[in-house]
Chains A and B, each alone.
Chain A
Amino acid sequence: MTPTELPADNAPAASSRTASIEFSGSKSAFTKLWLVNLLLSIITLGIYSAWAKVRNNQYLYGHTQIEGHRFQYLAKPLQILRGRIIAVVFFVAYGFISSLNPALGGLMALLLLLLMPWLIVQGLKFTLRNSAYRGVRFSFEGTYGGVFVHFLLLPIVGVVTLYLAMPWVVQRIQKYTYENATYGGKPFTLNTSAGEYYKAVLLCLGIGIAAIVVFSILMSVFGIAAVLSSASEPGYGGQMSQGAAISFIIGYLFTIICFMFISYLISAVYQGMIRNHIFNNLSAEDIFKTHSDVKLMPFTGLMITNALIVLFTLGLGYPVTRIRKQKFLAAATTVTLEPAIDHLVNTVDETHSAFGEEAAGLFDVDLSLT
């Protein structure tokens, strides 16, 4: 009784079909799951965090469905724990050596830099190979050389050109990353253009300048008002009057809030535009093609409110923000599926080291394809 005996079921359609992405995660359920796992991780001094990671991911993946099939996160906690332990040992040795002997630490940092492409490859491999849809796993076929060129050399080009080439560099990096992902052994194609990245950056630049102009006008009006009001108060010689001190503090807070607001605004606009561009040009031959219609205004609103939630809950509101974002992005995405998706064969086996991903995480090279 092997699965190959399964008859041609479900009468798969002969032509392509369009499907939406359903996300059924709930804020309260995910909050409970996330918090309990966080607390268990803390009281086990982090050992449980490997299980926590798997369970959090399983929740988010499992609640994402296309055509009634759930995504699956298949990583084994013990695999992650092992990778994490190796990474921690390495991290401690690095920390200790570099504080004892900066020269030796510098040498280690250089070695680490050379190791980085390998860590990135391993990390992406681990994540993608443990992601599956309809029993078929994703994978990553990037190489050390390719990652070295795209992730280490191209950013240098970006900096040398005074960031003028940076949008192009980012476009090349993302194209490389996506195009080396596979599903059921079939490679992805990403037809993005650098022009769209420049457009997004220019728009963000425009918004940023406009926002700063508006802010400066507000500030000068506010400042004049403050000066007038403090002038009317009797001040002690040389000391700031109470009114002036208060308006100074308010002005200071106002400045911080405005700049945070502007930076979230810009990053949301950029993320939304690039997300649309990527997901409107991503496909795997004969299997699927994605479409994304992220509306910038609501997306910006979502990102700013999410930032406020994280800020005012000291990070504990993270699960709520995660569900909100996931729901929003799922609703903005559709997939065109080709008949071949019903006949894919799994080409990936499950054994793969988690060290790359863990080490990459510890040394701050976080990457993901979402």
Chain B
Amino acid sequence: MNDQHSVTGLYQAGNSSHSTPARAMVTERQVVIYQQQGGQPVMSAVHGDYRFSEAIAGLPVDLIFADNSRFIPDDAGYRWKHLSKSQTITEWLETHWSAVLVAAVFLPFFLWFMVAVVIPASSNVVAESLPQVVADELGQQSLTIIDAAYMEPSELAASEQENIRQRWHDILQRLNIPPDTYSLQFRRWNHGANAMALADGTVIVTDSIARLMKDNPQQLDAVLLHEIGHVEHKHSLKILTQSTVTSLLFAMMFGDVEGMGEIMLGAGTGLAQASFSRDMERDADQFAFQELQSLGRSPQDFADAMRALEASHPLRIAAGQSDCTQDCDNNSTEPGFFDYLSSHPATEERIRAAEALAEKQKMQQ
């Protein structure tokens, strides 16, 4: 019919390096390949019995026949009428700067959404559904590492330890937490007053913090409640699943990207982790405030404890007592290892939150 047209090109055999200059005659029903020299037909197929190679900028679209032989048009820009919509769209996207631009504008929002919403939410779900065995294993592992590399056995007197242990048991009892799910450990640590919680419910108290709060045991109670908050909220597990989910997701998204993958991976993970751990501190603080109140104490204890801790770290004083954003944030969070002081942005902000709540409590009484 008058709809037929012809295309010149090369006919390439399917199972050998043979090829011959050829002409493809396309009719309404089928395509027939004729050899250029002599005009013999060498292949024919009805539409649908052959496929097209991918449409890619500057490259011809081949007809691929059932025996893997190909007809390759001479004109690299030639596009067949029967080419599928998806192929045409893909090529259009790949050849227009406008598509690049639209996607580039959209992308930061998408990444922000992944990092700020999807990753934390999905790692929370995963962390909540992990069996207790995982937490136990993780906690024991961390304690082994801490003992081997960071801390020494405690040098506190047995009576001092016993005093703290007594208060600790009181707290657990009044919170209705079975005491065998938690364990209190004393260690000597050269980097000052600190307390930390491990995934399995182990809470470590350093000698310096015990001495620092010896005369104000209610401050140590507030700190211990904060640590219990970390455990109750499964923060160690969340950190673990979150870093796994982040690196997995970023590996999936950027793993194939040469040159850029590493940069994005590092930046994204760091970014997500920093905001994530700040949220966790806030959650643990909230837990401590609430439980202090339900124990009939004031969140002021927490504020006082923070002040005492801050004053006990000379570097922090040098950095200025009012606000320590950069200097405190040394981000030394090991997996499953909650450092009480590092990775916290505004200590002052937390103190203010505690004091505001204490004020409110006082007003209500």
Contacts and interface: CB of A to CB of B under 8 A. Distances in A.
Interface centre among B18, B259, B260 (most CB of A within 10 A): B18
A68 B70 CA distance: 15
Interface in A308-358: 310, 314-316, 318, 321, 341-346
Nearest to B138: A100
Interface stretch (A26-34, A154-162, A163-171, A292-300): A26-34
Contacts of B255: 46, 49, 361-362
Interface residues of B, number: 64
B93 interface: yes
Contacts of A10: 19-21
Contact of A32 (B69, B100, B251): B100
Interface stretch (B54-62, B220-228, B305-313): B54-62
Contacts of A315: 257, 259-260, 263-264
B54 A24 contact: no
A345 B68 CA distance: 13
A261 interface: no
A87 B110 CA distance: 25
Contacts of B260: 314-316, 318
Contacts of A343: 16-18
Interface centre among B12, B16, B20, B21 (most CB of A within 10 A): B16
A341 B251 contact: no
Interface string B116-136: 000000000000000000100
Contact of B17 (A91, A102, A135): A135
A43 B16 CA distance: 41
Contacts of A239: none
A341 B255 CA distance: 38
A120 B274 CA distance: 37
A341 B252 contact: no
A211 to B, nearest CB: 25
B58 A341 contact: no
A234 interface: no
A37 B93 CA distance: 9
Given A1-B42, A3-B16, A3-B18, A99 B335 contact: yes
Interface centre among B13, B67, B90 (most CB of A within 10 A): B13
A91 B263 CA distance: 20
Interface string A81-106: 00000001001100110011110000
Nearest to B59: A62
Interface in B34-50: 35, 37, 41-44
Contacts of B258: 318
A214 interface: no
A52 B256 contact: yes
Nearest to B36: A9
A24 B58 CA distance: 8
Nearest to A61: B59
B56 A7 contact: no
A207 interface: no
| Secondary structure of the B contact surface, majority rule | mixed
A42 B253 CA distance: 5
A341 B256 CA distance: 34
Interface centre among A32, A58, A92 (most CB of B within 10 A): A32
Contacts of A14: none
B236 to A, nearest CB: 11
Given A63-B59, A100-B137, A345 B244 contact: no
Contacts of A136: 16-17
A123 to B, nearest CB: 14
Interface in A1-35: 1-7, 9-10, 24-26, 29, 32-33, 35
A96 B97 CA distance: 41
B12 A135 contact: yes
B20 A33 contact: no
Given A100-B138, A362-B251, A6 B59 contact: no
A345 B15 CA distance: 6
Contacts of B41: 1
Interface in B74-125: 90, 93-97, 99-100, 103-104, 106-107, 110-111
Contacts of B70: 135
B276 interface: no
A10 to B, nearest CB: 7
A312 to B, nearest CB: 12
B164 interface: no
The 5 closest A-B pairs by CB, nearest first: A315-B260, A46-B252, A3-B13, A39-B103, A9-B20
Interface of B: 10-21, 35, 37, 41-44, 54, 56-59, 67-70, 72, 90, 93-97, 99-100, 103-104, 106-107, 110-111, 134, 137-138, 141, 240, 244, 247-249, 251-260, 263-264, 335
Given A6-B42, A135-B68, 12 more contacts: A1-B44, A3-B18, A6-B20, A10-B21, A33-B57, A36-B100, A41-B257, A42-B107, A47-B252, A134-B17, A318-B259, A345-B15
